[in-house]
């Protein structure tokens, strides 16, 4: 019987990178909400119990840097910023569905 090698070229499991990316305060919840609809910062503050502006900003920035969310500036008065899930983020939806994280 042969076993499938589940490590990548660096010698670590590919899932480890995903888990590291989504670990941290508020990231899984932000991702779950982003799947449902575009997100506005003030809305997130109200939806995520216990979140503060600083930790939420850090989590959004990290998700954006990872390519899972994109920041969209809506040029109207007053100026609005929304966070949308990217194609890369959408590619993770089946993984979250398998983990029963999304309903």
Cα distance between residue 27 and residue 47, in whole Å = 13
Cα distance between residue 91 and residue 101, in whole Å = 15
Walk along the chain (103 residues) in steps of 10 and give the mean pLDDT of each run: 46 69 84 92 91 93 93 89 94 81 58
DSSP 46-78: HHSTT--HHHHHHHHHHHHHTTSEEEEEE-SSS
| pLDDT tens by residue, 63-76 | 999 999 999 998 88
The confidence score (pLDDT) of residue 6 equals 43
The confidence score (pLDDT) of residue 10 equals 56
The confidence score (pLDDT) of residue 36 equals 92
The CB-side HSE value for 22 (13 A sphere, CA atoms) comes to 17
Q: Sketch out the chain's domains with CATH numbers.
A: 16-98 (1.10.10.10)
pTM: 0.77
């Amino acid at each position: 019987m042969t076993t499938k090698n589940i490590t990548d070229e660096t010698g670590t499991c590919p899932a480890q990178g995903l888990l590291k990316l989504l670990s941290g305060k508020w990231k899984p919840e932000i991702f779950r909400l982003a799947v449902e609809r575009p997100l506005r910062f003030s809305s997130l503050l109200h939806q995520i119990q216990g979140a503060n502006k600083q930790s939420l900003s850090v989590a959004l920035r990290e998700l954006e840097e990872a390519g899972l969310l994109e920041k969209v500036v809506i040029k109207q008065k007053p100026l609005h910023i929304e966070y949308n899930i990217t194609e890369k983020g959408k590619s993770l939806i089946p993984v979250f569905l398998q983990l029963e994280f999304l309903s």
